[in-house]
Structure 1
Amino acid sequence: MRDQPSVREAFALLVAGPTASGKSALALGLAERLGGVVINTDSMQVYAGLAVLTAQPPPGEQAQVPHRLYGERDPAEAASVAWWRGRALEEMQAARAAGRLPILCGGTGLYFRALVEGLVEIPPIPEEARAEARGLLAAEGPAALHARLLAADPGTAARLRPTDSQRLARAWEVWRGTGRGLADWLARSGSESGTGPARLPDGTPWRFAALRIDPPREALRHAIGLRWEAMLKAGAVEEVRALLARRLDPALPAMRAHGVPEVSAMLAGRWDLAEAGRRACLAIGQYTKRQATWFRHQALAAPSETHTIHARVTGMEQFSESELREIFAFVC
């Protein structure tokens, strides 16, 4: 059992894992039993108008316990890691002041890492560098931009996939706009140029414990298929149609949320609904594999402060009494 948090200590629980692993169900159950506030830690669930496709907790669940940072950001405005971190810290502090346990729930590893370890502050990027990055991406595609980055900033390029257009453009603009690569800036995290680990305004450091869900691949594939069918019934196509009607920049993160590109292609007549679903589930499955790998190899908390659940979580009722005692002993 972990040491009990002191009265003064700022303690928060992290519930992390890949898409469709059951994070929201676990966080809800824990929040009900422990008097918690669930704080979104998913980069897509911050956007309004995508409640179905990003699998935000439904209104009924959000009414059971306080939920924060779900559907808060307009899709026309990209949500940065720095914006999320600032808002998350505000909500964590508010929860603590109200005598509630902050429970950060999601699958975006970068958000968790920025919260726990700190976030480097990169100087403002000149508009010329941003325009150049967007122009190269549009004219040459992500693979060619990755090749350019490999020659100019190999340390950063090695961290990025040649298909990750958003992060490639960001890496290019940082290199062009500051004269230093993104990997070099990130290496300074925690120094005088970074925000440092999460603290209260009075300097008290936050202490984190992590529940990591790591279900078998087959269980995730099955859950992804079921979730997709449920999303279609709940209005996923209508969500995409409304999003497209706004004629937003296709490079915005919300326009690349899981299911949006595939349903968009279906609405444009390139695929039928079955093919859109097949491609969407395949893309989600590939993403969950990367998520699971990241969470297995990145420490969100100290080993003694991390507990792994090797099953998909469908609700607190699935756990035996002994398992529940183990989980509560770990958290409390």
Structure 2
Amino acid sequence: MKPIICITGPTASGKSAWAVEIAKSVGGEIINADAMQVYKDLQILSARPLPSDMQGIPHHLFGHISGHVRYSTGAWLAEVQPVILDCLARDVVPILTGGTGLYFKALIDGMAQIPAISSCAMSSAQELLDVQGIDALRRKAETVDAIATKRVLGHDPQRLLRIVSVYEETGRGLSDWQSDTRPVIPKQFCRLAVVLPERQALYARINSRFEAMINNGGLEEAKAVFQAGYDESLPMMKAIGLQQFFPYLKGEASLEQAIDIAKRDTRRFAKRQFTWFRGQAKEWTSVNNHSQKKEFEANIPLEIL
């Protein structure tokens, strides 16, 4: 069968454009592996490919989910598997690209079948955060599952809430559930590349790209989401570059302040992605220049037996 190509990397690293170039050369189609590019509401601020970016290459699982949906890694896995199989059945190379490392990890390493978490367990964890704060939530997470908590960098309430609520619901740690997994797509069928540009060059590109987003309607997009009145706990509302505009739209900050904070937070997000990929994608081919990309492309087999 045809190989399955996976291209990841930090935000603004150029992975989407490279994936299109590969698709043109091997007869492939692009499949989204970015958690924010699934949302209809975030065309600009998620840097979702425009028709001009696609260059006639079919793209799948982009901009098809309402912001009201609590989309998850499990939901993505359920959607991506039939798309991959359809490509292979048509003798087309599936090319997955995006910056959500957990999507690729779930696809290649497997994902635990954790039972649905009740509203009672989620409310209990949320109450701890609301009443005692993020430090208390982390201490609780460390108590119930030190292994999973160690993987959480900095203050990440969403992931800490998940750790605590899973334990409250099931009596088992999240890491215990995650140890009982099997791959969806075995690694031997995949060709894996992570784009890791020089750090300062990437930060400069992030700044200039965000300026372009503003010029192309990013602020108007954020305003539309703000006026729609979405629940701020929804996954879409965590998008870097979206939430940073809300203080400006509430009259609590200037536009210049909002833009500066959005750029800063995007750079910080890219730094966290670097850390994650270096720790979790050690078996992937690391590329950071044109010659390394061409070497990776040259080693893509026409078929995997």
TM-score band, normalised by shorter chain: over 0.9
For residue 161 of structure 1, report the CA deviation from its aligned partner: 3.3
Shifted more, 64-73 versus 151-160: the winner is 151-160
Counterpart CA distance in 1 for 2:146 and 2:153 is 12
What is the aligned partner in structure 2 of residue 29 from structure 1?
Answer: 21
Which of 177, 197, 205 does residue 169 from structure 2 map onto?
A: 177
What is the aligned partner in structure 2 of residue 211 from structure 1?
Answer: 193
Shifted more, 213-222 versus 122-131: the winner is 122-131
Which of 54, 59, 80 does residue 67 from structure 1 map onto?
A: 59
Change (3 A) 1:180 1:325: closer
What is the aligned partner in structure 2 of residue 138 from structure 1?
Answer: 130
SS in 1 for 2:229: coil
Which of 152, 159, 166 does residue 144 from structure 2 map onto?
A: 152
What is the aligned partner in structure 2 of residue 193 from structure 1?
Answer: none
Q: CA RMSD for the aligned pairs?
A: 1.9
User: Counterpart of 2:189 in structure 1: which amino acid?
Assistant: R
For residue 241 of structure 1, report the CA deviation from its aligned partner: 1.1
Change (3 A) 1:211 1:161: closer
User: 1:44-193 counterparts in 2 under 5 A?
Assistant: 44-62=36-54, 64-190=56-182
2:244 maps to 1:262: yes
For residue 197 of structure 1, report the CA deviation from its aligned partner: 3.3
User: Counterpart of 1:197 in structure 2: which amino acid?
Assistant: V
SS in 2 for 1:20: coil
Q: Equivalent pairs: percent with the same residue?
A: 35
Deviations 1:196-247 (A, max 9, x none): 3327xxxxx8711112211111111110011110100111111111111221
Which of 282, 297, 301 does residue 328 from structure 1 map onto?
A: 297
Change (3 A) 1:323 1:19: closer
Counterpart CA distance in 2 for 1:33 and 1:128 is 52
What is the aligned partner in structure 2 of residue 243 from structure 1?
Answer: 225
User: Counterpart of 2:201 in structure 1: which amino acid?
Assistant: A
Counterpart CA distance in 1 for 2:219 and 2:99 is 23
Unmatched segments (≥5 aa) in structure 2:
none
Deviations 1:239-272 (A, max 9, x none): 1111112211111111110111211111112221
For residue 296 of structure 1, report the CA deviation from its aligned partner: 2.0
For residue 77 of structure 1, report the CA deviation from its aligned partner: 0.7
SS in 2 for 1:331: coil
Change (3 A) 1:307 1:161: closer
Counterpart CA distance in 2 for 1:296 and 1:226 is 25
User: Counterpart of 2:40 in structure 1: which amino acid?
Assistant: A
Counterpart CA distance in 1 for 2:151 and 2:295 is 37
Unmatched segments (≥5 aa) in structure 1:
1-8, 191-195, 200-204, 312-318
Counterpart CA distance in 1 for 2:292 and 2:228 is 47
Counterpart CA distance in 1 for 2:104 and 2:161 is 22
**Contact 2:20/2:55 (<8 A) preserved:** no
Deviations 1:24-52 (A, max 9, x none): 11011111221111111111111111010
Counterpart CA distance in 2 for 1:324 and 1:77 is 36
TM-score by length of 2: 0.92
Change (3 A) 1:168 1:41: same
